[in-house]
């Protein structure tokens, strides 16, 4: 039996994002985001209640400060006591997993959405997703960009403005464009 475009998307295979089922999910998330982003003056408890409506998992004590933006929401899983500051963008065509106690600065962008390198596949409207996994107690500085397929280990630090193009080992500090492990012996 043929798999739907949504099933292909969720499996990390090439899919066509113009598919009606996928477009309906985007519209539903857009309506939810409007509701969520209109709650800036509300309590964190109210935010948590709304997050639980749309996200795949949202741990106890987790805060996402509006405005917040995502593609679907149901592919996002966040552990307990995580904190995501204003203007975070998560393109969640496949799973984004954020561990407990992780803190994400303002304007961070997390991308699972990718496009084929072949021009004809791009022209045909194909897209693909690669999951992003962020460990426990990670700190991601403001304005950082996490690219598709990246895993960030527990207790790692990503410097503000960094572009993370490859996996970050547990406990490492990475900075720059592209992000590289910081030299702990170099003086500032």
Axis-axis angle for helices 20-37, 44-54 (nearest 10): 170
Here the tokens at position 62 are: 């987790």
Q: 78 near 98, Cβ under 8 Å?
A: yes
Q: 143 near 106, Cβ under 8 Å?
A: yes
Q: 147 near 112, Cβ under 8 Å?
A: no
Q: Which residue among 48, 115, 117, 185 is the active-site one?
A: 115
Contacts of 43 (CB under 8 A, 6+ apart): none
Burial of 105: CB neighbours in 10 Å, binned 0-12, 13-18, 19+: buried
Does the annotation mark 46 as catalytic?
A: no
Task: Please list the active-site residues.
Answer: 115
């Amino acid at each position: 039996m043929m798999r739907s475009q949504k099933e292909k998307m969720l499996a990390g295979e090439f899919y066509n994002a113009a598919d009606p089922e996928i477009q309906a999910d985007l519209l539903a998330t857009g309506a939810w985001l409007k509701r969520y982003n209109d709650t800036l003056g509300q309590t964190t408890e109210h935010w948590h209640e709304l997050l639980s409506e749309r996200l795949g998992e949202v741990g106890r004590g987790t805060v996402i400060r509006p405005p917040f933006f995502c593609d679907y929401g149901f592919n996002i899983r966040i552990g307990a006591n995580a904190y995501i500051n204003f203007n975070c963008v998560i393109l969640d065509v496949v799973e984004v997993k954020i561990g407990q106690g992780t803190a994400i600065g303002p304007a961070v962008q997390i991308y699972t959405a990718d496009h084929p390198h072949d021009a004809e596949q791009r022209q045909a409207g194909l897209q693909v997703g690669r999951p992003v996994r962020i460990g426990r107690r990670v700190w991601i500085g403001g304005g950082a960009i996490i690219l598709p397929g990246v895993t960030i280990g527990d207790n790692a630090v990503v410097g503000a403005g960094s572009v993370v193009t490859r996996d970050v080992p547990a406990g490492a500090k990475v900075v720059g464009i592209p992000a590289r492990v910081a030299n702990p012996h170099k003086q500032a």
